[in-house]
Structure 1
Amino acid sequence: MNTLEEDELCFPQLLNSSCRKIVRPHAISILIYITLSAISLITVTLNLLVIISISHFKQLHNPTNILLLSLGVSDFFVGLLFLFQIMLIDGCWFLSDQMCALYVVLDYIITSASIGTMVLISVDRYVAICDPLHYHSKVTEKRAKICVTMCWIGAALCHSLLLRGNLQHPGRYNSCSGECVVVVDYIGGFIDLCVSFIGPVTVIVVLYVRVFAVVVSQARAMRSHIAAVTLQDSLSVKSEMKAARTLGVVVVVFLICVCPYFCVTLTGHESLVNVSTTAFVMCLFYLNSCLNPLIYALFYPWFRKSIKLIVTLQILVPGSCETSIV
């Protein structure tokens, strides 16, 4: 009987202070670990392909793809952090309290930067569809890079300040050994909720409602030949509309994956994030980072072509960065 109880502890040698494991049948545990590890590996691999594609091929150096590159970078790191979430599936944290605090802070920063990038993508599509004549003057590569940089710096500063207490005194909120708990005070939690969820989601939804209203009106105009446009203008409009639909799918999938986590936060009585008890919604949150490059593969021919060039090592050929893939 004692052996059974010890098997249920994260640290059997610490009988009085160890946390208890979440006990599952062995076969189910193995299946969960294999599945989540595969998702983590796929997430890292696919987003690395996105990063290499946009960074290497000069033809892909445009404002929209710079935003996709930022999203790919954040998704890549999310894939790496997913390994720590897998560790917590059984409710045990086997690393130090300092690593726990660092993991949660990095998780906050990276996911916040990802959400901020989604907002930038929505703004980019809004300007491209609703003000196409001034798009190239308003949205430039330089401005896109500045916005992405500010997004990452803002995410890092905001969450480093919000979680500074946990960084200064890691592990002080743990109730037992083997727990990874981070506490955010009420005001900090409210600020984080507004900055990381309510504000961005509101902006994204409002902009995309406007974008798709314009897309529908443009589609009707083109079908009825009301708008007297040249063939080149028509192709340009179709290209922008296709890009808006594709990135719209990215945004919708993003909202589906992210909303459950923040809904759990909203319904909580305290601004308390216990990673072990929110494993499911966190895994769904992380799953979004795996789905984004799959969406690119389905809708973007240039991504499929660049994958082929990368896998076959043709990008190592001198001058390959000038290859036409669009």
Structure 2
Amino acid sequence: MGIDEIYKSMMENSENSELCFPHLHNASCWKPKQSESGSILNYIVLSVISLLTVFLNLLVIISISHFKQLHTSTNLLLLSLAVSDFFVGLLMCFHIMFADGCWFLGDIVCLIYQYLAYIITSSSVGTMVLISVDRYVAICDPLLYSTKITLRRVRICIVLSWLYSSAFQSINLSDNLKQPGMFNSCVGECIVIINYIAGLADLVLTFIVPITVIVVLYMRVFVVAVSHARAMRSRFAGVTSVKAKKSELKAARTLGVVVVVFLLCICPYYCVTLVGVDTLLSVSSSAIVIFMVYLNSCLNPMIYAFFYPWFRKSVKLIVTLKLLCATFNLVLVFPHKTINK
């Protein structure tokens, strides 16, 4: 390429983009110019999803935490998932600020943002595995469910899942944690680089193995569920055991929807890691796949609202401020014992 062509290319680039930090000149990153209407629409959509994600998951957290009738093994897992989704909604605020392609909050905040995003994604996958195990035992071994799946064991598993995610991602991002921003090529960039070995380990341990476990367990659950459904047709509708089976099947179907939606939203993110020898993840360049992860966190509470009557009742109490009453007859609100179904 000749000097004239290089100069022409530079002029065209400067006309279509501008510096993130004009006072830094060549040290600053370039950001592409966007139409004003497109930028406004982008900010509005992301802001609405962020607010909805935080608000809806906060309703789930308050509902399960406040009402003792909702303190079941399954709901504790939903609570852990809601906490993850709640933090995803908060992290979207950073993504919104980075929507124009420039990072203005410094290398340390960038690293914290990316680090938390990795931990939350990993812990969400772990929670999905626990949900699959919970439904597997409930459907395939219902007589021993109450002895195998206890509140204490579920709490321990949730804590271990979060601790494992934090420890594993600390190792996974060790190079980035030593020196924040060491892989940035210019000021205004926010990226983390994972080498081949760490990227492969992350792909296997936080995606391939957990997803395989989830799929296998739920295939088994639905096979048993079909046989239960056929068996129930030959029995009386008023039998208690039949009602219990129907309740478990309904819970399995609802959580199955949650798992399927999760897989559809999370798979594109991990497919990106299969590209290239070194995995380069940039918020700006991976906007679509990261947006899918964010969208999943907003969809989960909507699924609960659609399938779970207890969630709709508790939301009504929270929104109407009846939750603030010192003594409230919760038996009238949640009359059934198996309110997690």
TM range (shorter): over 0.9
Aligned with residue 293 of structure 2, among 285, 300, 314: 285
Q: Secondary structure at the match of 1:254?
A: helix
Aligned with residue 100 of structure 1, among 72, 94, 110: 110
Q: State the partner residue of 1:32.
A: 42
| Distance apart, 1:7 and its partner CA | 6.2
Output aligned runs, 1:43-58, within 5 Å. Answer: 43-58=53-68
| Distance apart, 1:24 and its partner CA | 1.7
Aligned AA (1:30): I
What RMSD in Å do the two structures reach over aligned CA positions? 1.8
C-alpha distance after superposition, 1:240-297 (max 9, x if no partner):
0000000000000000000011111113332221222101110111110000000000
CA distance in 2, matches of 1:297, 1:223: 29
Matched, 1:320 2:291: no
Conserved 8 A contact 1:85-1:283: no
Matched, 1:125 2:135: yes
Q: Secondary structure at the match of 1:94?
A: coil
Matched, 1:153 2:163: yes
Conserved 8 A contact 2:50-2:90: yes
Larger Rg: 2
Output aligned runs, 1:160-179, within 5 Å. Answer: 160-179=170-189
Q: State the partner residue of 2:6.
A: none
Q: State the partner residue of 1:71.
A: 81
Q: Which has the higher contact order (CA 8 A, sep 6+)?
A: 1
Q: State the partner residue of 1:61.
A: 71
C-alpha distance after superposition, 1:167-223 (max 9, x if no partner):
220111001111011111211111111111111110100000000011111111112
CA distance in 1, matches of 2:176, 2:204: 21
Conserved 8 A contact 1:109-1:155: yes
Aligned AA (2:318): I
Aligned with residue 299 of structure 1, among 307, 316, 321: 307
Conserved 8 A contact 2:80-2:127: yes
CA distance in 2, matches of 1:321, 1:277: 52
Q: Which moved more, 1:252-261 or 1:88-97?
A: 88-97
Conserved 8 A contact 2:133-2:217: yes
- In the superposition, the TM-score normalised over structure 2's length comes to 0.91
- In the superposition, the TM-score normalised over structure 1's length comes to 0.95
Aligned with residue 261 of structure 1, among 257, 266, 269: 269
CA distance in 2, matches of 1:267, 1:96: 28
Matched, 1:311 2:326: no
| Distance apart, 1:5 and its partner CA | 4.8
CA distance in 2, matches of 1:201, 1:22: 37
Q: State the partner residue of 1:232.
A: 240
Shift of the 321–124 alpha-carbon distance from structure 1 to 2, 3 Å rule, reads farther
Q: Secondary structure at the match of 1:21?
A: strand
CA distance in 1, matches of 2:105, 2:130: 36
Give aligned-pair identity as a percent: 61
C-alpha distance after superposition, 1:289-317 (max 9, x if no partner):
00000000000000000000001111111
| Distance apart, 1:87 and its partner CA | 2.0
Q: What is the aligned residue count?
A: 324
C-alpha distance after superposition, 1:62-117 (max 9, x if no partner):
00000000000000000000111122222111111011111111110111111100
| Distance apart, 1:224 and its partner CA | 3.4
Q: Which moved more, 1:6-15 or 1:104-113?
A: 6-15
CA distance in 1, matches of 2:29, 2:311: 46
Aligned with residue 146 of structure 2, among 98, 112, 136: 136
CA distance in 1, matches of 2:131, 2:299: 17
Output aligned runs, 1:190-209, within 5 Å. Answer: 190-209=200-219
